């Protein structure tokens, strides 16, 4: 890699770090204010998928999620969304 390419990569990584820090702060504040939840899918006492949702004024907004390979194979994200909809549908 050339020096210019390395500098561009470093700038991009710094921007991503700043963005992730902002996302982390947003999620923490939402949880503290009762407007954010983390929902996990667990298989054999291991988290295989997790999602973060914002809750506000009868609206649920998916913000971020992740699954490991087993969670992807199981379709764990779909399970999380289905269970969340089932839990909150009576509130709408």
For the record, the structure tokens of 11 come out as 């700038």
Write out pLDDT tens, residues 43-77. Answer: 999 999 999 999 988 889 999 999 999 999 999 99
Write out pLDDT tens, residues 77-88. Answer: 999 999 998 988
pLDDT of residue 92: 58
Query: What number of helices (H) and strands (E) belong to the chain?
Result: 3, 3
Taking the C-alpha atoms of residue 30 and residue 34, their distance in angstroms, rounded to an integer, is: 6
Taking the C-alpha atoms of residue 79 and residue 51, their distance in angstroms, rounded to an integer, is: 11
Its pTM surpasses 0.85? no
Q: How would you label 22-40 residue by residue, b for 16+ Cβ within 10 Å and e otherwise?
A: eeeeebeebeeeeebeebe
For the record, the structure tokens of 79 come out as 């399970």
Residue 30 CA to its chain's centroid (Å): 13
Q: Which residue has the tokens 């779909």?
A: 78
Residue 31: pLDDT band by 50, 70, 90 thresholds? very high
């Amino acid at each position: 890699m050339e020096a210019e390419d390395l500098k561009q990569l470093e700038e991009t990584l710094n921007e991503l770090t700043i963005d992730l820090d902002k996302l982390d702060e947003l999620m923490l504040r939402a949880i503290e204010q009762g407007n954010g939840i983390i929902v996990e899918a667990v298989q054999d006492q291991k988290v295989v998928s997790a999602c973060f949702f914002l809750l506000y004024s009868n609206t649920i907004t998916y913000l971020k999620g992740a699954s490991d390979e087993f969670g992807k194979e199981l379709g764990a994200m779909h399970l999380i969304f289905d269970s969340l909809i089932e839990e909150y549908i009576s509130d709408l």
